[in-house]
Amino acid sequence: MVDSDDDSWDLVTCFCMKPFAGRAMIECNTCSTWIHLSCAKVRRSHVPETYVCQGCRDAHGTGDARRSHRSRSGPRRHLLD
């Protein structure tokens, strides 16, 4: 049974604009925003010690950590060349 006096159940912090509602969440270490694990694309079995949300990564220029930072070996070729 859910305690109806518990305001945290209906608290919205995640960028998806849906409430906590008992779903697992993770806190951004930069902005302290709580985000649902599913919205953060974090598995329960792989919760990191520190987490920085996509908004903070974009704002601080760190980009998506999953992208490769390898440089290209040559200039890009255009299809119309």
**CATH number for 25:** 3.30.40.10
* pLDDT reported for residue 5: 55
Tally of structural domains, the chain: 1
Choose from 4-13, 18-27, 59-68 the range with maximum mean pLDDT.
18-27
CB proximity list for 3: less than 8 A, separation 6 or greater: 9
pLDDT value at residue 51? 96
Domain presence at residue 79 = no
Q: Which residue has the higher pLDDT, 53 or 80?
A: 53
Tell me the residue range of the domain where 50 lies: 7-59
Rounded to two decimals, what is the model's pTM?
Answer: 0.63
Residue 24 lies in a domain: yes
Can you give the pLDDT at residue 14?
93
pLDDT cut 90: percent of the chain above it:
52
Indicate whether 68 belongs to any domain: no
Is 2 inside any structural domain? no
